[in-house]
Amino acid sequence: MSIAHLLEDFTLQAGGGKLHLLDEDALEEQRLASFEQGYSAGWEDALQAQEQSRKQASAELAKSLEDMSFTYHEAVTRMTLSLEPMFNSLVNAVLPDTLDRGFAARLVEQLSEMAQEQIGQPMQVFAPKGRAVEVQKLIPPSLSTAVKVIEDPSLEAGQARLQVGVAQREVDTDGLLASVAGAFDAYVFEAKEAMSNE
């Protein structure tokens, strides 16, 4: 007599269908399909993790660059403000003296250039009132044509108008100094504004 009736029957599934046994080829295909599904899921997880890591690194880099930029601008602003006294003395003391000393050289340079363009023409220098003798001493006697110095009350100290024939030029060291001082004042003002907005 058989003992089959004593053993549990596994051939039936819960749904009442029969259990299908797979041969080796079908089993291998199912294994490969499962491997492909697992590999694809792992690959997607790795790509998502890499993208998340890249976004986090980009955000950290942007934050670091922003902090560095702020620190750099703050340092430049503070340095500018600390140099303000030196720049003020430069604009108010050193540059005027240097421009005064360079005034004669600038006059001679301009006169020589104009004389080459208009050979044999009369040369005139218009100087501020009361400065004609001083300006006459600045002009070297080596110029080929005599230079006539004429006082012009409309000119201020540091200004001169040169005329050779019909050509005219102006030399304005005070105007140059004023534009340098204005540019520096504007720069310092912007630096102070940047510091007050922090």
The CATH number of whichever domain residue 117 belongs to comes to 3.30.360
Cβ-Cβ contacts under 8 Å for 148 (sequence gap 6 or more):
122, 123, 124, 125
Q: Running DSSP on this structure, what letter comes out for residue 6?
A: G
* Contacts of the segment 105-108: beta carbons below 8 A, 24+ positions apart: 106/171, 106/173, 107/135, 107/138, 107/139, 107/160, 107/162, 107/171, 108/138, 108/139, 108/140, 108/143
pLDDT for 150 equals: 85
Inside any domain, residue 176: yes
Q: What is the pLDDT of residue 92?
A: 67
* Residue 117 maps to a domain: yes
Tell me if 138 sits within 8 A of 83, measured CB to CB.
Answer: no
Question: Would you give the end-to-end CA distance of the chain in angstroms?
Answer: 99
Residue 121 lies in a domain: yes
Instruction: Give the span between the Cα atoms of 140 and 96, in whole angstroms.
Output: 22
Q: Tens of pLDDT along the chain (198 residues)?
A: 678 777 776 655 555 555 566 688 888 888 899 899 988 888 998 899 899 988 888 888 888 777 776 677 777 777 777 777 777 776 666 666 666 666 666 766 777 777 677 666 778 888 888 878 877 877 777 665 677 888 888 888 777 888 887 778 887 777 777 777 888 778 778 877 777 776
Calpha distance 9→58 (Å, rounded) = 61
Q: Identity (one letter) of the amino acid at 106?
A: R
Q: Does residue 14 form part of some domain?
A: no
Q: Is residue 144 part of a domain?
A: yes
Beta-carbon contacts of 164 under 8 Å, excluding residues fewer than 6 positions away, are 111, 114, 115, 117, 118, 121, 122, 123, 124
| Domains contained in the chain, number | 1
- Collapse the DSSP code of 20 into the 3-class scheme (helix H, G, I; strand E, B; otherwise coil) and give the result: coil
In the block, tokens 């004389």 appear at 115
Q: Looking at the domain assignment, is residue 37 inside a domain?
A: no
Is 77 domain-assigned?
Answer: no
**Order of all β-strands in the sheet with 159-164:** 147-151, 123-127, 159-164, 167-172
Residue 22 lies in a domain: no
**What domain range includes position 165?**
84-181
